[in-house]
Structure 1
Amino acid sequence: MGTPVDQLVDLLDLEQIELNIFRGRSPEEALQRTFGGQVAGQALVAAGRTVDGGRPVHSLHAYFLRPGVPGVPIVYQVDRIRDGRSFTTRRVLGIQQGRSIFALTADFHLPEQGGIEHQDPMPDVPGPEDLPSALEEVGSKLGELPPFISRRQPFDIRYVDRLRWTKEELVGVEPRSGVWLRTNGSLPDDPLIHVCALTYASDMTLLDSVRAPVEPLWGERNFDMASLDHAMWFHRPFRADDWLLYQQESHIAHAARGLARGQIYDRSGQLVVSVMQEGLFRPLSAR
């Protein structure tokens, strides 16, 4: 089976079954739905496989249309929307059991020089070496890890703020969260693998910022949560097997939906990726 990182790379290695058609494996899990980060990462692989190597992806916009079924393969159909002089656009539809479950549009840009340079500074937070691994911290507290934890095993994730376990600890907590993350081992040098691995990881913790003021991130859940859409902008090259700081905040939660924004920095302080996601939050008591 290999290490969790080997399994992640294998998960992102799609089978090409026609010129613009790819098939991705979906792991067998005892969970309600396929992990959204997996579907987004695989769809981006499918798009990237149809683009000349000199044009890295600069943005993606995606919608989760239906929950995927764990253990059932997903077919990705790529539509070659545009091949321009500077930009290449691809549209990808993820299909499972004859139904569309995911739609993604990705844009690729031939690198060029610009005349404007600025970015938000990286927050001053403890480094990853000074923080415990989330899996170690959660495992020692709960005794056993939740079933969805298998999705996180390819990554070393370390929360910047201490984890809270009771509602009493949530008093005064703001809707934001931050983690350091990197893969639990080296990845191949292919830049597309690093981009798609981070796309996978970007869906794991972003909605924590919406939940932070109302329920412990790792305690008993009061809400059924699902990703609705996801957008990413890739500003600079990076490696997903080097430490990256993922700062996340939510500006609004209303009408059973919460919106979160993420900024991802490398160790040198460069802002390498921006992320936006809206999630659905339904109280479990409403079932």
Structure 2
Amino acid sequence: MTNEPLTPLDDLLGLLDLEPIEENIFRGAAGRATIVPRVFGGQVAAQALVAAGRTVPADRRAHSLHSYFLRPGDPGVPIVYTVDRIRDGRSFTTRRVVAVQHGQPIFHLSASFQTEEEGLEHQEPMPPAPDPLTLPTAAEMLPHYADRLGGPEVVERILEARDAVDLRYVDEPPLASVGERREPKSQVWFRTNGKLADDPMLHICLATYVSDMTLLDSVLLAHGRGGWAVGDVVGASLDHAMWFHRPFRADEWLLYDQESPTAQGGRGLARGRIFTADGQLAVSVIQEGVVRVPRA
């Protein structure tokens, strides 16, 4: 036994290790640091996927999820996840999960799992991107933009919320692009700050957690908005869908290529592709969120 302090990744893995309460019912903590005063959506999605996965045979891997964020999560209260075993077929398994706080649903997820099989193969090519090791870490980059982000305290809050992940922006971070309209595209490299066990489901759940960190930032680029951290936009995730195409490890470098094709009606749409370092398209992501300009 060692007395080494827990790392941020240990803390995150602890949040994903849900407590079984009853058959098909699990409880997860809600207490990671966040940029805004509500439970981080990626955490709820990852915990819900963990709950679903706990009811599925180990030889079936998640290949897709579709989810809706219904209410803001209370960061001071545990979240209860109830799993409905919708279908157990010969090749596919379907689960529905509802996350509940204060007696009300805050999140809904449907996930599908499949036994591994051979099939047709093709994919889009990986877009150009620099080697992640040539890029500064977020801890090295973001302090240079403290004046645009609202001060050192805001930067510290952003870094604390993401401290389990080594996330490196390819270009100037969207959060720092206040007053500067740019093409609504962005790229980040990411991997967990530490090694993970070999369980493929764990890597899928960690990618689900990270997938909600930066995706809607691409919406802001077209409008020169810094976002929720600096208060010039009011935003929240509405729905989130992911497709897991090929095996990957979340503790090895993954390129998250993101873009926003449209924003309208107080909502913005963003889509992303996650590639392994050797060019394999591992995950596709689509998300719509509330993106509103605060009233004066």
* TM norm structure 2: 0.91
- Report the Cα offset of residue 167 of structure 1: 4.2
Which amino acid in 2 is paired with 1:225? Answer: G
The yes-or-no answer on 1:139 pairing with 2:149 is: no
- Structure 1 segment 3-82 matched on structure 2, within 5 A: 3-27=7-31, 29=33, 31-82=36-87
Q: Judge conservation of contact 1:215–1:222 (CA < 8 Å) in 2.
A: no
CA distance in 1, matches of 2:131, 2:8: 24
Q: Which of 239, 242, 251 is matched with 1:241 structurally?
A: 251
- Report the Cα offset of residue 246 of structure 1: 0.2
- Report the Cα offset of residue 162 of structure 1: 2.5
Which amino acid in 1 is paired with 2:288? Answer: E
Mean Cα deviation higher: 14-23 or 190-199: 190-199
Mean Cα deviation higher: 80-89 or 24-33: 24-33
- Report the Cα offset of residue 149 of structure 1: 3.4
- Report the Cα offset of residue 128 of structure 1: 0.2
For structure 1, which runs of at least 5 residues remain unmatched after alignment?
none
Q: Judge conservation of contact 1:28–1:71 (CA < 8 Å) in 2.
A: no
Which residue number in structure 2 is paired with residue 230 of structure 1? 240
Q: Which of 215, 220, 240 is matched with 2:224 structurally?
A: 215
Q: Judge conservation of contact 2:273–2:283 (CA < 8 Å) in 1.
A: yes
- Report the Cα offset of residue 150 of structure 1: 2.4
Which amino acid in 2 is paired with 1:137? Answer: M
Q: Which of 193, 196, 201 is matched with 2:202 structurally?
A: 193
CA distance in 2, matches of 1:194, 1:8: 13
For structure 2, which runs of at least 5 residues remain unmatched after alignment?
147-151
CA distance in 2, matches of 1:19, 1:261: 35
Alignment deviations for residues 50-96 of structure 1 (CA, whole Å, 9 cap, x no partner)? 00000000000000000000120000000000000000000000000
Percent identity over paired residues: 57
* TM norm structure 1: 0.94
Alignment deviations for residues 79-131 of structure 1 (CA, whole Å, 9 cap, x no partner)? 000000000000000000100000000000011111x2211100111110111
CA distance in 2, matches of 1:157, 1:215: 22
Which residue number in structure 2 is paired with residue 276 of structure 1? 286
1:33 to 1:226, Cα distance in 2 relative to 1, 3 A: same
1:121 to 1:205, Cα distance in 2 relative to 1, 3 A: same
Which amino acid in 2 is paired with 1:85? Answer: R
- Structure 1 segment 171-190 matched on structure 2, within 5 A: 171=181, 173-190=182-199
Pairwise CA RMSD: 1.7
SS in structure 2 opposite 1:222? coil
Q: Judge conservation of contact 2:226–2:233 (CA < 8 Å) in 1.
A: no
